[in-house]
Amino acid sequence: MTTAQGGFRGWAAGRKGVLSRLRFTSLRLRLVVVFGLVALTAAVSASGIAYWLNREAVLTRAQDAALRDFKQEMQNRASALPVHPTQDELQRTAGQMAGSSQRFSVLLVGQDTNGRTVYGTSGGLSGFALEDVPRSLRAAVDKRQPVGDGNKSPHHLYWQRIVDHGTPYLVAGTKVIGGGPTGYMLKSLEPEAKDLNSLAWSLGIATGLALIGSALLAQAAATTVLKPVHRLGVGARRLGEGRLDTRLRVSGTDELADLSRTFNKAAEALEKRVADMAARDEPSRRFVADMSHELRTPLTAITAVTEVLEEELDSEAGSMDPMIEPAVRLVVSETRRLNDLVENLMEVTRFDAGTARLVLDDVDIADQITACIDARAWLDAVELDAERGIHALLDPRRLDVILANLIGNALKHGGSPVRVSVRVAGAEGSEIVIAVRDHGPGIPEDVLPHVFDRFYKASASRPRSEGSGLGLSIAMENAHIHGGEITAANSPEGGAVFTLRLPRDAAELTEPADETGPAADDGDAGDGKGEA
């Protein structure tokens, strides 16, 4: 069964590849069509001209030979008849005239001594009668032309081509000069027509072969031209995927070879530039990571001292000197801020180093949001619209970081009440959508594209605001590691809306070999305060 499925998939993939190469927008198909049209136009034109020239030559040759013999027979035999011949004389003379090498039928028309019209026919072609002669031709033969210097005879030889029951014929007629019968000739052009049909078939076959040959040549030319283009496209895709060591094989000296050389030079320059940037960036990341870790030890001691000082401030004994109380409160506040900044820097360092991992658990989204709000004492400022029982396989700690940053940012810059709504979306409910909306003034349009940038603050006049400028960036990184996304927008009813989209099952994004460890679970959620 597996073999059959593999064969079917291979056939389907091959068929898909052929169809993709022959799609109407492909350069290959356009080259073949253009070559075919050019070849078809040239072949049809050449065949048409050749057919027309041969047709005229064949018909003219047969026509001239028949007319020449008929005229000669009229001069030799018909002119020897009396002015008023009998029917027997006309019949005998017509039979003699028809015995010519051209094998045509003859009809002689005259008047006997009593003024009666008599006919004589050779009897060929089922009896050649006067009704077989076109009326226009009879009128032209009977019409007497004026005799002058340019016209020495009152009657001339006239001819016409006709088609009777699909067979072409040549009809001619003239009068005997000096008086006598009128003669008509009927000759079949069927042999010539068959020769012309054979010629037309031959030309048609030659045109078809030319068209097939042009298509094959176009295919060969397209393959020659498009193979380097295809390699260039594959190389560009690999380069876009981050494989900066991609290079193209260069052969030839044409424009496509120059394009391949240019691509290789660009890829080499890009690889060098990225390597230089990585070399410069690595010490910076190492410095931030080392600094964050080094700061944690003294911060732990400082935090313990500030907690003691804070307890003294809040105690009822009032042992703290009122003169130094503001300074102590400032130290406590800045220590918390420094601690949050260090934790955020460590989290960012994990993302940059690629060591951040998911520790998945099946969680109820409504319970998780409630726990996040309750842990930070936001119950009175947040409205939750979420049904119980919507479960997802996610990393609870990272989801808590995302929610804390989004809700905290909304409370800080938008003001309460903040509304958090949860719904299921996607095919078969495969996606969780969490919207966090505040009722503040919204986000300026020029700020929207930068709200998730690191250390970005909307107001340059507040460089020492409480947040670190990393909260929303960390929230976005945590959404990305889940395979999700966060978008920011302004609601038509007022206020800003942050929309978090996460897959309900993030198991495919985890790596079995490195799911746990200090890098995956180090650090706290922080206060979640970012600057928008």
Q: Specify the CATH number for the domain of residue 432.
A: 3.30.565.10
Looking at 198, 229, 264, the residue that finishes a domain is: 198
Task: Determine the pLDDT at residue 464.
Answer: 44
| Dist CA 510 CA 505 (whole Å) | 11
- Residue 27's pLDDT is 67
- pLDDT exceeds cutoff 90 at 125: no
**In terms of residue numbers, what domain contains 491?**
358-457+468-509
User: In the numeric block, which tokens belong to residue 50?
Assistant: 């050749």
| Residue environment code for 460-477, b if the CB has 16+ CB neighbours within 10 A, otherwise e | eeeeebebbbbbbbbbbb
Tokens representing residue 309 in the block = 């000082």
pLDDT of residue 353: 66
Nearest alpha-carbon partner for 331 in 352, 357, 312: 312
CA–CA separation, 288 vs 352, rounded Å?
Answer: 11
Residue range 465-519, pLDDT digits in tens: 455 677 888 888 888 888 899 999 998 888 899 999 999 888 876 654 444 333 3
Rounded (10°) CA dihedral 127, 131, 137, 142 = 100
% pLDDT > 90, the chain: 10
Helix (H/G/I), strand (E/B), else coil: 146? coil
Strands (E), 386-447: 391-394, 418-425, 431-437
- Please tell me which residue, 81 or 309, carries the higher pLDDT value: 81
Residue range 216-229, pLDDT digits in tens: 877 777 777 777 78
Q: Looking at residue 165, what is its pLDDT?
A: 82
Q: Indicate the helix (H) or strand (E) that contains 96.
A: helix 87-98
* Residue 461 pLDDT exceeds 60: no
Ranking 209-213, 433-437, 526-530 by mean pLDDT, the lowest is 526-530
Q: What is the pLDDT of residue 4?
A: 46
Q: Specify the number of domains making up the chain.
A: 2
Q: Assign residue 48 a region: left if phi > 0, alpha if psi is -120 to 50, beta otherwise?
A: alpha
**Residue 349 covered by a domain:** no
User: Residue 434: inside a domain, yes or no?
Assistant: yes
Res 307 pLDDT > 90: no
Q: Which two tokens stand for residue 262?
A: 């240019």
Q: How far is CA 408 from the centre of its chain?
A: 46
Listed residue (412, 371, 450) closest to 528, CA to CA:
412
What is 269-333 written as a DSSP string? Answer: HHHHHHHHHHHHHHHHHHHHHHHHHHHHHHHHHHHHHHHHHHHHHHSTT--S-TTTHHHHHHHHH
Neighbouring C-beta atoms of residue 273, cutoff 10 Å:
11
Q: Which helix (H) or strand (E) holds 374?
A: helix 365-375
471-481 and 396-413 helices, crossing angle to 10°: 150
Mean of pLDDT values over 91-120: 85
Q: CA-to-CA distance for 34 and 405, rounded, in angstroms?
A: 60
CA separation for the pair 518, 355 (Å, rounded): 10
Rounded percentage of the chain residues whose pLDDT exceeds 70: 80
pTM of the predicted protein model: 0.45
Instruction: Give the largest Cα separation in the chain, rounded.
Output: 166
The mean pLDDT value for 302-314 works out to: 75
Residue 274 has pLDDT above 80, yes or no: yes
Residue 175 within a domain: yes
Which spans in 241-254 are helix H?
A: none
Is the previous residue joined to 228 through a cis bond, with omega within 30 degrees of 0? no
Q: Looking at 353-417, which runs of residues are DSSP E strands?
A: 361-364, 382-385, 391-394
For residue 296, tell me if it sits in a domain. Answer: no
What pLDDT, on the 0 to 100 scale, is given for residue 36?
Answer: 77
pLDDT greater than 90 at residue 422: yes
pLDDT of residue 526: 39
Q: What value does the mean pLDDT of the chain take?
A: 78
For 323-380, what is each residue's pLDDT tens digit?
777 787 787 777 777 777 677 667 777 666 666 778 889 999 999 999 999 988 888 8
Average pLDDT for residues 108-126, to the nearest whole number?
A: 79
CA 465 from centroid of its chain's CA atoms: 50
Residue 111 has pLDDT above 70, yes or no: yes
Q: Which of 329, 471, 476, 485 is nearest to 411 (CA)?
A: 471
Residues 356, 477 contacting (CB under 8 angstroms): yes
Residue at 227 is within a domain: no
CATH number at residue 83: 3.30.450.20
Q: Which of 134-148, 366-380, 407-421, 517-531 has the lowest mean pLDDT?
A: 517-531
Q: Concatenated DSSP letters for 20-55?
A: HHTSTT-HHHHHHHHHHHHHHHHHHHHHHHHHHHHH
Q: What is the pLDDT of residues 148-189, one digit of tens each?
A: 777 777 878 888 988 888 888 889 999 887 778 888 988 888
Query: Is 348 inside a domain boundary?
Result: no
Domain-embedded: residue 153? yes
CA distance 321 to 20: 81
Looking at the chain, how many residues does it have?
532
Whether 433 shows a pLDDT value over 90: the answer reads yes
Domain boundary among 143, 176, 198: 198
Q: How confident is the model at residue 147 (pLDDT cuts 50, 70, 90)?
A: confident
Question: Where among 165, 198, 231 does a domain terminate?
Answer: 198
- Summarised one tens digit per residue, pLDDT across range 10-36 is 555 555 554 444 455 566 777 777 777
**With bands split at pLDDT 50, 70 and 90, how would you rate the model's confidence at 2?**
very low
Determine, yes or no, domain membership for 158: yes
Q: Contact at 8 Å (CB) between 451 and 488?
A: yes
Query: For residue 421, what pLDDT band results from cuts at 50, 70 and 90?
Result: very high
